[in-house]
Structure 1
Protein backbone atom coordinates (compact mmCIF):
# COMPACT_ATOMS: atom_id res chain seq x y z
CA UNK A 1 0.00 0.00 0.00
CA UNK A 2 1.21 3.50 -0.80
CA UNK A 3 2.41 5.66 2.08
CA UNK A 4 0.11 8.70 2.44
CA UNK A 5 3.01 10.64 3.93
CA UNK A 6 4.50 10.99 0.46
CA UNK A 7 2.10 13.93 0.11
CA UNK A 8 2.80 17.17 1.95
CA UNK A 9 0.29 18.96 4.15
CA UNK A 10 -0.17 21.52 1.38
CA UNK A 11 -1.50 18.81 -0.91
CA UNK A 12 -4.04 17.76 1.72
CA UNK A 13 -5.16 21.35 2.31
CA UNK A 14 -5.28 22.24 -1.38
CA UNK A 15 -7.16 19.13 -2.44
CA UNK A 16 -9.65 19.51 0.42
CA UNK A 17 -10.33 23.11 -0.63
CA UNK A 18 -10.73 21.99 -4.25
CA UNK A 19 -13.20 19.32 -3.08
CA UNK A 20 -15.51 22.10 -1.86
CA UNK A 21 -15.70 23.40 -5.43
CA UNK A 22 -16.06 19.97 -7.01
CA UNK A 23 -18.69 18.97 -4.44
CA UNK A 24 -20.70 22.07 -5.37
CA UNK A 25 -20.47 21.25 -9.10
CA UNK A 26 -21.25 17.56 -8.57
CA UNK A 27 -24.35 18.33 -6.49
CA UNK A 28 -25.86 20.37 -9.32
CA UNK A 29 -24.63 18.96 -12.61
CA UNK A 30 -22.00 16.31 -11.95
CA UNK A 31 -18.58 16.49 -13.56
CA UNK A 32 -16.53 17.63 -10.58
CA UNK A 33 -13.94 15.14 -11.72
CA UNK A 34 -13.09 17.65 -14.46
CA UNK A 35 -11.17 19.51 -11.74
CA UNK A 36 -10.41 16.83 -9.17
CA UNK A 37 -8.90 14.10 -11.32
CA UNK A 38 -6.18 16.27 -12.96
CA UNK A 39 -5.34 17.69 -9.51
CA UNK A 40 -4.99 14.21 -8.03
CA UNK A 41 -2.85 13.11 -10.95
CA UNK A 42 -0.35 15.90 -10.15
CA UNK A 43 0.39 14.14 -6.85
CA UNK A 44 2.18 11.42 -8.78
CA UNK A 45 -0.02 8.67 -7.34
CA UNK A 46 -0.68 5.61 -9.55
CA UNK A 47 -3.82 5.96 -11.73
CA UNK A 48 -5.79 3.26 -9.90
CA UNK A 49 -5.03 4.88 -6.53
CA UNK A 50 -6.20 8.20 -7.97
CA UNK A 51 -9.47 6.58 -9.08
CA UNK A 52 -10.03 4.79 -5.76
CA UNK A 53 -9.24 7.81 -3.59
CA UNK A 54 -11.44 10.03 -5.72
CA UNK A 55 -14.36 7.63 -5.23
CA UNK A 56 -14.03 7.98 -1.45
CA UNK A 57 -14.32 11.77 -1.55
CA UNK A 58 -17.04 11.58 -4.18
CA UNK A 59 -19.29 9.31 -2.13
CA UNK A 60 -19.11 11.79 0.76
CA UNK A 61 -20.34 14.64 -1.43
CA UNK A 62 -23.01 12.68 -3.26
CA UNK A 63 -24.39 11.30 0.01
CA UNK A 64 -24.83 14.83 1.37
CA UNK A 65 -26.46 15.98 -1.88
CA UNK A 66 -28.76 12.94 -2.00
CA UNK A 67 -29.83 13.56 1.60
CA UNK A 68 -30.68 17.18 0.82
CA UNK A 69 -32.61 16.27 -2.33
CA UNK A 70 -34.55 13.51 -0.57
CA UNK A 71 -35.40 15.92 2.24
CA UNK A 72 -36.73 18.31 -0.41
CA UNK A 73 -39.02 15.52 -1.66
CA UNK A 74 -37.38 15.10 -5.07
CA UNK A 75 -37.14 11.31 -4.87
CA UNK A 76 -38.24 8.40 -2.71
CA UNK A 77 -35.79 5.73 -1.58
CA UNK A 78 -38.60 3.16 -1.42
CA UNK A 79 -39.42 3.76 -5.11
CA UNK A 80 -35.85 4.24 -6.34
CA UNK A 81 -33.90 1.39 -4.72
CA UNK A 82 -34.19 -0.99 -7.75
CA UNK A 83 -32.44 1.60 -9.95
CA UNK A 84 -29.84 2.17 -7.23
CA UNK A 85 -29.23 -1.58 -6.93
CA UNK A 86 -28.73 -1.83 -10.71
CA UNK A 87 -26.26 1.07 -10.55
CA UNK A 88 -24.41 -0.55 -7.65
CA UNK A 89 -24.06 -3.88 -9.45
CA UNK A 90 -22.91 -2.22 -12.66
CA UNK A 91 -20.37 -0.03 -10.85
CA UNK A 92 -18.89 -2.99 -8.96
CA UNK A 93 -18.34 -4.80 -12.26
CA UNK A 94 -16.86 -1.70 -13.88
CA UNK A 95 -14.50 -0.95 -10.99
CA UNK A 96 -13.27 -4.55 -10.99
CA UNK A 97 -12.70 -4.51 -14.75
CA UNK A 98 -10.81 -1.19 -14.85
CA UNK A 99 -8.21 -2.61 -12.46
CA UNK A 100 -7.43 -5.28 -15.08
CA UNK A 101 -7.41 -3.26 -18.30
CA UNK A 102 -6.87 0.15 -19.91
CA UNK A 103 -9.70 2.68 -20.32
CA UNK A 104 -8.22 4.07 -23.56
CA UNK A 105 -11.24 3.19 -25.71
CA UNK A 106 -13.62 5.07 -23.41
CA UNK A 107 -11.35 8.12 -23.57
CA UNK A 108 -12.07 8.18 -27.30
CA UNK A 109 -15.83 7.57 -27.11
CA UNK A 110 -16.95 9.56 -24.05
CA UNK A 111 -16.34 13.07 -25.51
CA UNK A 112 -18.81 12.27 -28.27
CA UNK A 113 -21.42 11.18 -25.70
CA UNK A 114 -20.85 14.32 -23.64
CA UNK A 115 -21.29 16.50 -26.71
CA UNK A 116 -24.61 14.73 -27.29
CA UNK A 117 -25.62 15.51 -23.68
CA UNK A 118 -24.76 19.20 -24.13
CA UNK A 119 -26.68 19.45 -27.42
CA UNK A 120 -29.71 17.65 -25.97
CA UNK A 121 -29.67 19.93 -22.92
CA UNK A 122 -29.67 23.04 -25.13
CA UNK A 123 -32.26 22.03 -27.73
CA UNK A 124 -34.68 19.70 -25.93
CA UNK A 125 -37.89 21.24 -24.57
CA UNK A 126 -37.87 18.45 -21.94
CA UNK A 127 -34.93 19.99 -20.06
CA UNK A 128 -37.01 22.04 -17.63
CA UNK A 129 -38.67 21.37 -14.28
CA UNK A 130 -41.89 19.96 -15.73
CA UNK A 131 -42.39 16.19 -15.92
CA UNK A 132 -43.21 14.75 -19.35
CA UNK A 133 -44.27 11.45 -20.92
CA UNK A 134 -42.09 8.51 -19.93
CA UNK A 135 -40.60 6.51 -22.80
CA UNK A 136 -39.41 3.62 -20.61
CA UNK A 137 -41.10 1.96 -17.66
CA UNK A 138 -39.37 1.69 -14.31
CA UNK A 139 -38.33 -1.89 -15.09
CA UNK A 140 -37.19 -1.04 -18.62
CA UNK A 141 -34.94 1.70 -17.25
CA UNK A 142 -33.02 -0.69 -14.97
CA UNK A 143 -30.52 -1.80 -17.67
CA UNK A 144 -29.83 1.87 -18.43
CA UNK A 145 -29.13 2.55 -14.77
CA UNK A 146 -26.89 -0.51 -14.60
CA UNK A 147 -24.99 0.49 -17.75
CA UNK A 148 -24.31 4.01 -16.47
CA UNK A 149 -23.27 2.52 -13.12
CA UNK A 150 -20.84 0.24 -14.98
CA UNK A 151 -19.41 3.26 -16.78
CA UNK A 152 -19.12 5.17 -13.48
CA UNK A 153 -17.15 2.34 -11.90
CA UNK A 154 -15.00 1.75 -14.97
CA UNK A 155 -14.15 5.32 -15.98
CA UNK A 156 -16.44 7.92 -14.40
CA UNK A 157 -16.31 11.40 -15.98
CA UNK A 158 -19.79 12.47 -17.06
CA UNK A 159 -21.73 9.74 -15.23
CA UNK A 160 -23.87 12.35 -13.46
CA UNK A 161 -24.76 13.98 -16.77
CA UNK A 162 -25.67 10.60 -18.26
CA UNK A 163 -27.92 9.73 -15.30
CA UNK A 164 -29.68 13.08 -15.37
CA UNK A 165 -30.14 13.27 -19.13
CA UNK A 166 -31.42 9.68 -19.37
CA UNK A 167 -33.92 10.25 -16.55
CA UNK A 168 -35.26 13.33 -18.35
CA UNK A 169 -35.29 11.77 -21.83
CA UNK A 170 -36.38 8.23 -20.97
CA UNK A 171 -38.30 8.47 -17.70
CA UNK A 172 -39.87 11.89 -18.28
CA UNK A 173 -38.51 13.48 -15.09
CA UNK A 174 -38.28 17.23 -14.68
CA UNK A 175 -34.68 18.45 -14.57
CA UNK A 176 -34.48 19.23 -10.84
CA UNK A 177 -36.21 15.96 -9.94
CA UNK A 178 -33.82 14.06 -12.23
CA UNK A 179 -30.85 15.80 -10.62
CA UNK A 180 -32.03 14.72 -7.18
CA UNK A 181 -32.44 11.08 -8.14
CA UNK A 182 -29.09 11.19 -9.96
CA UNK A 183 -27.33 11.87 -6.66
CA UNK A 184 -28.97 8.80 -5.07
CA UNK A 185 -27.85 6.63 -7.98
CA UNK A 186 -24.39 8.21 -7.74
CA UNK A 187 -24.22 7.19 -4.08
CA UNK A 188 -24.84 3.57 -5.07
CA UNK A 189 -22.31 3.52 -7.92
CA UNK A 190 -19.68 5.42 -5.90
CA UNK A 191 -20.13 3.10 -2.92
CA UNK A 192 -19.69 -0.03 -5.03
CA UNK A 193 -16.66 1.44 -6.79
CA UNK A 194 -15.04 2.54 -3.52
CA UNK A 195 -15.49 -0.91 -1.98
CA UNK A 196 -13.92 -2.65 -4.97
CA UNK A 197 -10.99 -0.22 -5.15
CA UNK A 198 -10.48 -0.48 -1.38
CA UNK A 199 -10.48 -4.28 -1.58
CA UNK A 200 -7.72 -3.96 -4.16
CA UNK A 201 -5.68 -1.68 -1.86
CA UNK A 202 -6.15 1.30 -4.18
CA UNK A 203 -7.35 3.94 -1.68
CA UNK A 204 -5.48 6.52 0.40
CA UNK A 205 -8.00 6.81 3.21
CA UNK A 206 -6.69 9.88 5.01
CA UNK A 207 -6.52 11.91 1.81
CA UNK A 208 -9.89 10.60 0.61
CA UNK A 209 -11.64 11.43 3.87
CA UNK A 210 -10.06 14.89 4.10
CA UNK A 211 -11.31 15.65 0.60
CA UNK A 212 -14.63 14.09 1.59
CA UNK A 213 -15.14 16.77 4.23
CA UNK A 214 -14.65 19.42 1.57
CA UNK A 215 -17.01 17.61 -0.79
CA UNK A 216 -19.71 17.49 1.91
CA UNK A 217 -19.51 21.26 2.38
CA UNK A 218 -19.63 21.89 -1.37
CA UNK A 219 -22.51 19.45 -1.88
CA UNK A 220 -24.56 21.15 0.83
CA UNK A 221 -24.15 24.49 -0.93
CA UNK A 222 -24.76 23.07 -4.39
CA UNK A 223 -27.90 21.13 -3.49
CA UNK A 224 -29.27 24.22 -1.72
CA UNK A 225 -28.74 26.29 -4.87
CA UNK A 226 -30.32 23.63 -7.09
CA UNK A 227 -33.44 23.16 -4.97
CA UNK A 228 -33.87 26.93 -4.73
CA UNK A 229 -33.31 27.92 -8.36
CA UNK A 230 -34.09 24.65 -10.19
CA UNK A 231 -33.55 24.38 -13.94
CA UNK A 232 -32.38 28.02 -14.15
CA UNK A 233 -29.08 27.02 -12.53
CA UNK A 234 -28.95 23.30 -13.38
CA UNK A 235 -29.40 23.59 -17.16
CA UNK A 236 -26.57 26.06 -17.92
CA UNK A 237 -24.19 24.32 -15.52
CA UNK A 238 -25.01 20.94 -17.08
CA UNK A 239 -24.11 22.33 -20.52
CA UNK A 240 -20.96 24.06 -19.24
CA UNK A 241 -19.67 20.98 -17.42
CA UNK A 242 -20.46 18.66 -20.34
CA UNK A 243 -18.54 20.91 -22.73
CA UNK A 244 -15.71 21.31 -20.22
CA UNK A 245 -15.38 17.57 -19.79
CA UNK A 246 -15.47 17.12 -23.55
CA UNK A 247 -12.68 19.64 -24.03
CA UNK A 248 -10.60 18.09 -21.26
CA UNK A 249 -10.93 14.57 -22.69
CA UNK A 250 -10.26 15.68 -26.27
CA UNK A 251 -7.16 17.50 -25.01
CA UNK A 252 -6.09 14.18 -23.54
CA UNK A 253 -6.23 12.61 -27.00
CA UNK A 254 -3.36 14.81 -28.15
CA UNK A 255 -1.55 15.36 -24.83
CA UNK A 256 -1.68 12.00 -23.00
Structure 2
Protein backbone atom coordinates (compact mmCIF):
# COMPACT_ATOMS: atom_id res chain seq x y z
CA UNK A 1 0.00 0.00 0.00
CA UNK A 2 2.70 2.50 1.03
CA UNK A 3 5.58 3.28 -1.30
CA UNK A 4 8.11 2.61 1.48
CA UNK A 5 8.70 0.00 4.16
CA UNK A 6 7.15 0.24 7.62
CA UNK A 7 10.45 1.31 9.20
CA UNK A 8 10.98 4.07 6.64
CA UNK A 9 7.36 5.17 7.01
CA UNK A 10 7.77 5.60 10.77
CA UNK A 11 10.87 7.71 10.14
CA UNK A 12 8.97 9.87 7.65
CA UNK A 13 6.03 10.30 10.03
CA UNK A 14 8.37 11.50 12.77
CA UNK A 15 10.03 13.92 10.37
CA UNK A 16 6.63 15.21 9.21
CA UNK A 17 5.49 15.82 12.80
CA UNK A 18 8.67 17.77 13.57
CA UNK A 19 8.39 19.68 10.29
CA UNK A 20 4.77 20.60 10.98
CA UNK A 21 5.74 21.94 14.40
CA UNK A 22 8.66 24.01 13.11
CA UNK A 23 6.86 25.21 9.99
CA UNK A 24 3.83 26.44 11.94
CA UNK A 25 6.10 28.67 14.00
CA UNK A 26 8.83 29.87 11.67
CA UNK A 27 8.67 28.07 8.32
CA UNK A 28 11.43 25.83 7.03
CA UNK A 29 9.72 22.49 7.57
CA UNK A 30 11.05 21.28 4.23
CA UNK A 31 14.52 21.45 5.74
CA UNK A 32 13.48 18.38 7.74
CA UNK A 33 11.25 16.44 5.36
CA UNK A 34 13.02 16.78 1.99
CA UNK A 35 16.37 15.32 3.18
CA UNK A 36 14.54 12.44 4.91
CA UNK A 37 12.55 11.74 1.74
CA UNK A 38 15.78 11.68 -0.27
CA UNK A 39 17.37 9.32 2.27
CA UNK A 40 14.26 7.13 1.94
CA UNK A 41 15.00 6.53 -1.72
CA UNK A 42 12.95 9.23 -3.45
CA UNK A 43 14.59 10.96 -6.39
CA UNK A 44 14.83 14.78 -6.06
CA UNK A 45 11.68 15.60 -8.06
CA UNK A 46 9.63 12.90 -6.28
CA UNK A 47 10.90 14.22 -2.94
CA UNK A 48 9.83 17.78 -3.81
CA UNK A 49 6.44 16.59 -5.07
CA UNK A 50 5.76 14.42 -2.00
CA UNK A 51 6.89 17.27 0.23
CA UNK A 52 4.19 19.47 -1.32
CA UNK A 53 1.51 16.88 -0.54
CA UNK A 54 2.38 16.50 3.12
CA UNK A 55 3.25 20.19 3.59
CA UNK A 56 -0.18 21.46 2.59
CA UNK A 57 -1.75 19.60 5.54
CA UNK A 58 0.51 21.36 8.02
CA UNK A 59 0.16 24.80 6.45
CA UNK A 60 -3.63 24.45 6.28
CA UNK A 61 -3.84 23.35 9.92
CA UNK A 62 -1.62 26.22 11.05
CA UNK A 63 -3.71 28.73 9.06
CA UNK A 64 -6.93 27.51 10.69
CA UNK A 65 -5.35 27.52 14.16
CA UNK A 66 -4.09 31.10 13.81
CA UNK A 67 -7.47 32.19 12.40
CA UNK A 68 -9.26 30.59 15.34
CA UNK A 69 -6.96 32.57 17.65
CA UNK A 70 -7.97 35.81 15.91
CA UNK A 71 -4.59 36.57 14.33
CA UNK A 72 -5.66 36.44 10.68
CA UNK A 73 -8.84 36.82 8.63
CA UNK A 74 -8.66 34.00 6.11
CA UNK A 75 -11.49 35.43 4.00
CA UNK A 76 -9.46 38.60 3.44
CA UNK A 77 -6.58 36.44 2.19
CA UNK A 78 -8.49 34.62 -0.53
CA UNK A 79 -7.21 36.86 -3.35
CA UNK A 80 -3.50 36.81 -2.37
CA UNK A 81 -3.78 33.06 -1.75
CA UNK A 82 -5.20 32.61 -5.26
CA UNK A 83 -2.28 34.59 -6.67
CA UNK A 84 0.20 32.45 -4.70
CA UNK A 85 -1.53 29.32 -6.00
CA UNK A 86 -1.32 30.40 -9.66
CA UNK A 87 2.30 31.54 -9.32
CA UNK A 88 3.26 28.24 -7.69
CA UNK A 89 1.64 26.24 -10.52
CA UNK A 90 3.68 28.25 -13.03
CA UNK A 91 6.89 27.72 -11.07
CA UNK A 92 6.40 23.97 -10.73
CA UNK A 93 5.53 23.52 -14.42
CA UNK A 94 8.61 25.46 -15.45
CA UNK A 95 11.05 23.63 -13.16
CA UNK A 96 12.29 21.47 -16.03
CA UNK A 97 12.94 24.33 -18.45
CA UNK A 98 14.16 27.23 -16.28
CA UNK A 99 17.81 27.46 -15.18
CA UNK A 100 17.65 27.06 -11.39
CA UNK A 101 21.40 27.00 -10.70
CA UNK A 102 21.58 30.77 -10.24
CA UNK A 103 18.68 30.70 -7.76
CA UNK A 104 20.38 27.91 -5.81
CA UNK A 105 23.55 30.02 -5.60
CA UNK A 106 21.60 33.08 -4.46
CA UNK A 107 19.43 31.28 -1.90
CA UNK A 108 21.98 30.90 0.92
CA UNK A 109 22.79 34.61 0.70
CA UNK A 110 19.11 35.53 0.88
CA UNK A 111 18.45 33.20 3.81
CA UNK A 112 21.44 34.55 5.75
CA UNK A 113 20.12 38.07 5.06
CA UNK A 114 16.73 37.04 6.47
CA UNK A 115 18.40 35.67 9.61
CA UNK A 116 20.48 38.84 10.05
CA UNK A 117 17.42 41.04 9.56
CA UNK A 118 15.42 39.30 12.26
CA UNK A 119 18.45 38.92 14.52
CA UNK A 120 19.81 42.46 14.36
CA UNK A 121 16.72 44.64 13.79
CA UNK A 122 15.65 46.32 17.00
CA UNK A 123 12.03 46.51 18.05
CA UNK A 124 10.85 43.45 16.13
CA UNK A 125 8.11 42.10 18.37
CA UNK A 126 4.42 41.33 18.14
CA UNK A 127 3.45 44.99 17.68
CA UNK A 128 2.65 46.33 14.21
CA UNK A 129 4.96 49.02 12.82
CA UNK A 130 4.84 51.57 10.00
CA UNK A 131 4.40 49.80 6.69
CA UNK A 132 6.65 50.47 3.71
CA UNK A 133 4.40 48.90 1.09
CA UNK A 134 0.63 48.93 0.69
CA UNK A 135 -1.25 45.61 0.84
CA UNK A 136 -2.16 45.90 -2.85
CA UNK A 137 1.44 46.43 -3.95
CA UNK A 138 2.60 43.59 -1.70
CA UNK A 139 -0.05 41.32 -3.19
CA UNK A 140 0.96 42.26 -6.73
CA UNK A 141 4.71 41.85 -6.22
CA UNK A 142 6.00 39.79 -3.30
CA UNK A 143 3.16 37.27 -3.14
CA UNK A 144 3.49 36.04 -6.76
CA UNK A 145 7.29 36.22 -6.57
CA UNK A 146 7.52 34.00 -3.48
CA UNK A 147 4.68 31.78 -4.74
CA UNK A 148 6.52 31.22 -8.03
CA UNK A 149 9.70 30.39 -6.15
CA UNK A 150 7.79 28.01 -3.86
CA UNK A 151 6.58 26.04 -6.88
CA UNK A 152 9.97 26.16 -8.61
CA UNK A 153 12.18 25.12 -5.68
CA UNK A 154 10.50 25.76 -2.32
CA UNK A 155 13.08 25.83 0.52
CA UNK A 156 12.80 29.04 2.54
CA UNK A 157 9.50 30.23 1.03
CA UNK A 158 7.97 30.67 4.49
CA UNK A 159 10.93 32.80 5.57
CA UNK A 160 10.55 35.01 2.50
CA UNK A 161 6.83 35.46 3.13
CA UNK A 162 7.67 36.39 6.73
CA UNK A 163 10.26 38.94 5.62
CA UNK A 164 7.73 40.58 3.31
CA UNK A 165 5.03 40.84 5.96
CA UNK A 166 7.36 42.14 8.68
CA UNK A 167 9.78 44.27 6.69
CA UNK A 168 7.38 45.69 4.10
CA UNK A 169 3.83 45.38 5.46
CA UNK A 170 4.90 46.35 9.00
CA UNK A 171 3.18 43.41 10.70
CA UNK A 172 4.19 42.21 14.13
CA UNK A 173 6.04 38.90 14.18
CA UNK A 174 3.12 36.78 15.37
CA UNK A 175 0.66 38.44 12.97
CA UNK A 176 3.11 37.99 10.09
CA UNK A 177 3.53 34.31 10.92
CA UNK A 178 -0.24 33.86 10.90
CA UNK A 179 -0.54 35.58 7.52
CA UNK A 180 2.09 33.39 5.84
CA UNK A 181 0.27 30.12 6.43
CA UNK A 182 -2.66 30.39 3.99
CA UNK A 183 -0.26 31.61 1.30
CA UNK A 184 2.04 28.68 2.05
CA UNK A 185 -0.97 26.36 1.87
CA UNK A 186 -2.05 27.82 -1.49
CA UNK A 187 1.41 27.59 -3.04
CA UNK A 188 1.76 24.02 -1.74
CA UNK A 189 -1.53 23.07 -3.39
CA UNK A 190 -0.48 24.74 -6.64
CA UNK A 191 2.90 23.02 -6.63
CA UNK A 192 1.30 19.66 -5.80
CA UNK A 193 -1.18 19.87 -8.68
CA UNK A 194 1.54 20.82 -11.14
CA UNK A 195 3.90 18.10 -9.91
CA UNK A 196 1.08 15.58 -10.34
CA UNK A 197 1.50 16.07 -14.11
CA UNK A 198 5.29 16.27 -14.33
CA UNK A 199 6.42 13.95 -11.49
CA UNK A 200 5.49 10.79 -9.63
CA UNK A 201 4.73 11.76 -6.03
CA UNK A 202 4.38 9.17 -3.27
CA UNK A 203 0.68 9.87 -2.77
CA UNK A 204 -0.15 7.44 0.03
CA UNK A 205 3.05 8.13 1.95
CA UNK A 206 2.56 11.88 1.44
CA UNK A 207 -0.98 11.77 2.83
CA UNK A 208 0.19 9.72 5.84
CA UNK A 209 2.92 12.28 6.47
CA UNK A 210 0.28 14.99 6.12
CA UNK A 211 -1.67 13.52 9.03
CA UNK A 212 1.46 13.71 11.18
CA UNK A 213 1.95 17.28 9.93
CA UNK A 214 -1.51 18.19 11.25
CA UNK A 215 -0.56 17.16 14.78
CA UNK A 216 2.78 18.98 14.67
CA UNK A 217 1.30 22.13 13.13
CA UNK A 218 -1.50 22.33 15.67
CA UNK A 219 0.98 22.05 18.53
CA UNK A 220 3.40 24.55 16.99
CA UNK A 221 0.76 27.17 16.15
CA UNK A 222 -0.79 26.90 19.62
CA UNK A 223 2.60 27.35 21.29
CA UNK A 224 3.50 30.29 19.04
CA UNK A 225 0.29 32.09 20.00
CA UNK A 226 1.15 31.70 23.68
CA UNK A 227 4.80 32.78 23.46
CA UNK A 228 4.81 35.02 20.36
CA UNK A 229 7.95 36.63 18.99
CA UNK A 230 10.10 35.29 21.85
CA UNK A 231 9.71 31.86 20.26
CA UNK A 232 9.19 32.74 16.60
CA UNK A 233 12.24 34.99 16.10
CA UNK A 234 14.96 32.62 17.36
CA UNK A 235 13.40 29.65 15.58
CA UNK A 236 13.11 31.62 12.33
CA UNK A 237 16.75 32.70 12.59
CA UNK A 238 17.86 29.15 13.36
CA UNK A 239 15.92 27.54 10.50
CA UNK A 240 17.06 30.19 7.98
CA UNK A 241 20.72 29.71 8.91
CA UNK A 242 20.37 25.92 8.96
CA UNK A 243 18.81 25.90 5.50
CA UNK A 244 21.50 28.26 4.17
CA UNK A 245 24.24 26.01 5.55
CA UNK A 246 22.59 22.93 4.08
CA UNK A 247 22.36 24.52 0.65
CA UNK A 248 26.01 25.58 0.83
CA UNK A 249 26.98 22.06 1.89
CA UNK A 250 25.06 20.56 -1.04
CA UNK A 251 26.93 22.85 -3.44
CA UNK A 252 30.30 21.88 -2.04
- The normalised TM-score by structure 1 is 0.94
With over 3 angstroms needed to count, the CA separation of the structure-2 counterparts of 1:32 and 1:159, relative to structure 1, is same
RMSD: 1.4
Partner of 1:92: 89
User: How many angstroms apart in 1 are the aligned matches of 2:97 and 2:213?
Assistant: 29
Q: Unaligned regions of 5+ residues in structure 2, if any?
A: none
Partner of 2:160: 162
Answer yes or no: is the 8 Å Cα contact 2:158–2:180 preserved in 1. yes
Offset of 1:104 from its aligned partner?
2.4
Partner of 1:110: 107
Partner of 1:46: 43
The alignment partner of 1:128 has SS state of coil
Q: Unaligned regions of 5+ residues in structure 1, if any?
A: none
More displaced 10-residue stretch of structure 1: 122-131 or 233-242: 122-131
Equivalences, count: 251
With over 3 angstroms needed to count, the CA separation of the structure-2 counterparts of 1:115 and 1:11, relative to structure 1, is same
Answer yes or no: is the 8 Å Cα contact 2:45–2:199 preserved in 1. no
Indicate yes or no: 2:117 matched with 1:120.
yes
Partner of 2:132: 135
The alignment partner of 1:98 has SS state of coil
User: How many angstroms apart in 1 are the aligned matches of 2:115 and 2:84?
Assistant: 23
- The normalised TM-score by structure 2 is 0.96
Partner of 1:36: 33
User: How many angstroms apart in 1 are the aligned matches of 2:123 and 2:87?
Assistant: 27
